[in-house]
Chain A
Amino acid sequence: DQQVKQNSPSLSVQEGRISILNCDYTNSMFDYFLWYKKYPAEGPTFLISISSIKDKNEDGRFTVFLNKSAKHLSLHIVPSQPGDSAVYFCAASEPNYTGANSKLTFGKGITLSVRP
């Protein structure tokens, strides 16, 4: 049972345009969401996160939107650059009440290609 779903395996956009990467989740206990970027032969790199008490978080060209009622989040990259071409993973975790840092559940990833 996949709790974090990235249903589109790939996305191709023109340089300078907006990239929108989508993620859906089924576990209503999730309250912390993250996006990671991964280049080949490297580990995932943390991009941006959002807590369930917010509906938007912005960091430079990257904005994450959270729609709790729809159990949906999206990552917007504006403007897209060729260096953004990578695999993007959505991840989520449940509340952390005990000091044991929460385990992450990952989606399968989306391959973004930004065309020059």
Chain B
Amino acid sequence: DAGITQSPRHKVTETGTPVTLRCHQTENHRYMYWYRQDPGHGLRLIHYSYGVKDTDKGEVSDGYSVSRSKTEDFLLTLESATSSQTSVYFCAISESWGGEIFSNQPQHFGDGTRLSIL
């Protein structure tokens, strides 16, 4: 198993409160991603990082921010949680091999954080 730890695994909070989810990896991979999974939607990319302090938006980034101050940690923050952000959140990591055309490598996922916002 890829060394990915997500914390907390479960959280219940109230609308309007800030929430931070943590993803920690021991693989020293360059790329890290945050997804959310909702019924009828599969997995959707929220934000991703391609290096320390290098991040970019994904498909559903509104209401979320991220930070990566160290290679091993990628934080997802909901500044003011809303009920629509109730979801299961997955972190993923990957590496790519250098070359004229970088070859894709599969992403490997953590076990998720189930977040409920009441």
Contacts and interface: CB of A to CB of B under 8 A. Distances in A.
Contacts of B94: 101
Contacts, number: 72
Contact of A43 (B50, B104, B110): B110
Interface residues of B, number: 32
Contacts of A42: 111-112
B74 interface: no
Interface residues of A, number: 30
Interface of B: 4, 30-31, 33, 35, 40-45, 48, 50, 58, 90, 92, 94-96, 98, 101-112
Given A43-B111, A46-B107, A96 B44 contact: no
Nearest to B45: A103
Contacts of B109: 36, 43-45
